[in-house]
Structures are given as structure tokens and as C-alpha cells.
Copies of this chain bind each other. A is one copy, B any other.
Amino acid sequence: MKTLRVPEATVTRLSIYSRYLERLDRNGVTTVSSGEIAEGVGVSPAQVRKDLAYFGEFGTRGVGYNVKDLMRYTKKILGLDQDWPLILVGAGNLGYALCTYKGFNSRGFKIVGVFDNDLTKIGKKIAELEVLPMEKMPEVIQEYKARIGIIAVPPRAAQDVADYMVKNGLEAILNFAPVALNLPEGIEIRNVDLSVKLEILTFNLGFKSAQRL
């Protein structure tokens, strides 16, 4: 089988296209061109076509793409034709926000267990979910067949949490703690860093000011 590697940037954009298509669909739009998608998400039309070309032919020449179909295709490609149970560790403010974040649910993500080692948090409820002690994680993972974990704990605790997740069979981790995690081969890990983008802004603002001198 010819396996051509898909750039991560392409997958990122695919996710964005996918959500944009959902919006178009909600608005009753039935057909869309690469140019319109490009316009809607802020990339070039060629980029849209190139990205889609990694996965097949989804459009009709001279016409464009059927919104509903392309939406389904993109979701399927991203693995979103199924629901994904998520394990969350960290019942602080960020954990709370993630639990209640609508953007997850609408894409088929569902947090099925919230864990913390802080005794003052255990037992409390977050959006109908009781915060559980870490020891309960194995059984929750089993019950829901969870494969993905989210880390929303302070930096110093993140590595231990990650290790525990891996030990209990999780295969992928989304890490909100601003530290690089060290994990065994084969475990998928991605970081969401809340302040890096902010620092890109300050960098650019500084640069802009310098330009004016």
C-alpha cells in the first residue's frame, strides 16, 4: 500500500475546514467551492484542494463540493464518525472549563471521567460528573474504553499524570500544562499552550513598534 505521509498542518486545516462545513450546513448551504472555503477559514484555494487531495476526490469539477458530503468525509477522515470518551485529570478552573466546553461535545468528544488528587475537590460535581480520586481511573477507562486523556494540572504534576495515564492504557494525551512530557514511543501527545500564542502577539507588537522608529 502506498502510504504517503500527511503533513500535520494539513490535518489541522482539515479540522478547521470540517467545522466550517458544519457551519455552512447549519446555514443551509448545499454547495461550496474551494475558494469559498479558503475565504471562510483564511487560507488559499489551492491549499484547500491540495489538502483534500491527500485523501481522495470529493468534488465535482465546474461545480464545487457538496457541503454535507464533504462534511461527512472530513469528519470520517479525522476519526469523528464515532464518539470519543475522554479522561480528564485536573479539576481546577481549566478542567472545569474543559468539562463544560461545548466545542468538544459538538464534535463527538465526551468527558467521561474527571480526576484529581486534591481531597477538597474529590466528590464535587462538575457538569453531572463527580470528581474522582486518581485510583478510580483504571476502571473508568475500562468501562468506557477510553483511549485519550487530557491533562489540566499544574506543570510540576503533569509528567506523573501522563505516566499514570499511559500505565493504564491511554494511547493519546492532550496536555494543557506548559511542559514537555516524556512518553514512550507510540503514545500520541499534543500540547495546547495557552500563553505561547500570546507571546507571539507581544513579539509582533514589539516588532511593529521597532519598525516605527
Contact = CB atoms under 8 A, between A and B. Distances in A.
Interface of A: 8, 11-12, 14-16, 18-20, 23, 40-42, 77-80, 84, 92-94, 96-104, 107, 109, 147-148, 154, 171-174, 178-180, 188, 190-206, 208
A174 B188 contact: no
Nearest to A106: B195
A192 B190 contact: no
A196 B200 CA distance: 19
Could you tell me the dominant secondary structure of chain A's interface residues?
A: helix
Copies in the complex: 2
Given A41-B180, A97-B93, A180-B40, A192 B197 contact: yes
A7 to B, nearest CB: 11
Nearest to A201: B172
Contact of A190 (B77, B171, B173, B200): B200
Contacts of A94: 97, 101
Contacts of A178: 19, 103
23 contacts: A8-B200, A14-B199, A15-B196, A15-B200, A16-B180, A78-B202, A79-B206, A84-B202, A93-B100, A98-B194, A103-B178, A104-B194, A104-B195, A107-B199, A147-B205, A148-B198, A148-B201, A148-B205, A171-B205, A171-B208, A173-B201, A190-B197, A190-B201
B199 A78 contact: yes
Given A14-B203, A92-B97, A192-B194, 12 more contacts: A8-B200, A11-B200, A16-B196, A41-B180, A80-B199, A93-B100, A96-B96, A97-B97, A98-B194, A104-B195, A104-B198, A172-B202
